[in-house]
Amino acid sequence: SNTPRGLKKLPSPPGHFFQIGREPHKKFTEWARSLGDIYGVHMGQQYWIILTGDKVVSDLLQKRGGKYSTRITSYYTYDLLTRGKSYFGCPYNERYKMLTPIMHGALGQRNIKENSNLLDDEFRILMQNLCKASTNAKDGFYPKYCFQLTSLNIINLLCLNKRTESTEDPYYKEFETLMGEHSEIAKITNRLSEFFPIMKLIPNYSLRNKIIENRTKIEAFFEKLVKEVMDSKEKKPCIIRNLLCKKDEGILDDLDVIYLVYVIFAAGTDTISSSLTWISAALANNPEVQYKAHQELDRVIGHSRLPEVSDELNIPYTRAIIKESLRYCAPIYLGLPHGIEEDDEYNGYHIPANSVVILNQYGIHMDEKRYENPKEFKPERFLGVTESSAALANGNYENRDHFGFGAGRRLCTGIHMAEMELLLGVSRLLWCFKIENASPLDKDGKPIPIDLDKIRFGITVWPEEYCVRFVKRHDNVEKVLSI
């Protein structure tokens, strides 16, 4: 009824993703795949716009980036849970513009290149851990926890030169618990009153208390890390030390520092470990893909050293596996919602002010017009693509490899770091191991393929627990890993 004259209301999507019902995973994926270019839907008083077409994503999020780069803030998850300090949730305002160069300084290409030795060490240790875990669990295991330890250690080392040896470490456990509680609280179903104001009549003290309790613990956890850096005698450079310099210059306050560290930990850990968990499952289901990668790695690298970052351009098939994984089984399905604060118009449609704008990455990644046979894991489709996802993300949408890192001015700040981690992680996994599906056998005696449609939703998306074996490919693996 509020659509201005001469403009059309956006079409409604087929079905409603909040009413997906009893088979949420299957229904969700069907829903996300079935969407066309652009839809609008009311979720109570909040209007959501869902972008599933590659062109519309480019037209709005990229080309009109000045308008479509804000976030619509939530009282519970932004104001209360992070005291309006979260970088993820920050509207596109002066504060965001002040914080962005600081975040790029911390996570940008330059800093990551300078720290490439650190990444190199951690991915060597990961391979050693996978060798050990394989010896202890001959029938296979779920590798998620090994990957989580690695991604956490990388962030730990970058932020404060600290690492932890095992997922049993109390520090690791505390971090896991806090972040688990955090994403549980942030679930949309907990804060329906933000969409249906009538529910505000029933005050939700229990949610408020849980949020404040989690916030207090999170702040204390990260405050302790900041203090460790302040108190350390060595004064080694690290991200927290750089943030503290910005505090001394009067640019940041204490809470800013705490919440920037929190964002780096939150954004940089689960995304990488979830990606590696997905990739291992996809590889276990596709031995022929592994075979081709093994041939490439044997030819280019040989058996006497590990793949390095500098090998990147010489191992195109391995790189194509990474791109295909971020298309086929990305750790994020619906991006982080963007927002628009003012009215706009697109192809005769009205885009109302204050809408949430969702990039349906999963839908685009399964679009047959864009990717032939999208339900197949086929790295070959990316063989001719020599540029990084970071370089392609800012160019013409038709040439983009995938939309796994979002779009426009809110594009993932950690994109360079993520690409380097995945390059080292995936090339070394394939160099060291044959990843075998260790699921129960079917009636023909073959392992039942891992069902990649069985997913666990959260802020990042995980495959359901599965079982694989990491079988060393040759006698030199352990020797090379110990150098």
Contact residues for ligand HEM (CB under 6 A)?
Answer: 87-88, 103, 107, 263-264, 267-268, 271-272, 275, 330-332, 335-336, 338, 359, 404-407, 410-414, 417-418
Min dist CB 415 to ligand HEM, Å, is: 7
Any idea what DSSP says for residue 340?
Answer: E
Is 238 annotated as a binding-site member? no
Provide the sign of the torsion angle of the four alpha carbons 365, 406, 285, 281, taken in this order.
negative
Taking the complex as a whole, the smallest distance from the CB of residue 336 to ligand HEM amounts, in Å, to 4
Which residues lie below 8 Å from residue 357, measured CB to CB, with a gap of 6+? Answer: 48, 49, 51, 60, 61, 68, 337, 338, 339, 340
Nearest Cα to Cα of residue 404 among 225, 275, 232: 275
- C-beta of 139: minimal distance to ligand HEM in Å? 29
Nearer to ligand HEM, 271 or 437 (CB): 271
Spatial CB neighbours of 409, under 8 Å, sequence gap ≥ 6: 65, 66, 69, 92
- Return the number of the residue (129 or 277) whose C-beta is nearest ligand HEM: 277
Q: Which is nearer to ligand HEM, 407 or 481 (CB)?
A: 407
Interatomic CA distance for residues 229 and 159, integer angstroms: 9
Instruction: Reduce the DSSP state of residue 40 to 3 states and report it.
Output: strand
CB of 441 to ligand HEM, least distance (A): 32
As measured in angstroms, the least distance from the Cβ of 401 to ligand HEM is 12
Instruction: Round to whole Å and give the CA distance between 311 and 482.
Output: 20
* Closest to ligand HEM by CB, 65 or 374: 65
Ramachandran angles phi, psi of 458, nearest 5°: -165, -155
Distance CA 475, CA 417 (A): 31
Distance CA 69, CA 90 (A): 10
Nearer to ligand HEM, 283 or 467 (CB): 283
Q: What is the CA radius of gyration of the chain?
A: 23
Whole-angstrom CA distances from 98 to 74, 87, 95, 246, 264 are 21, 11, 5, 11, 17
Tell me the backbone φ, ψ of residue 8, rounded to 5 degrees. Answer: -100, 155
CA-CA distance, 164 to 152, in Å (whole number)?
A: 9
Q: Which residue is nearest to ligand HEM (CB)?
A: 414
Q: Which is nearer to ligand HEM, 331 or 363 (CB)?
A: 331
Could you tell me the smallest distance in angstroms from the CB atom of residue 386 to ligand HEM?
Answer: 20
Q: Which residues are annotated as a binding site?
A: 412
Q: Which residues are annotated as a binding site for heme?
A: 412
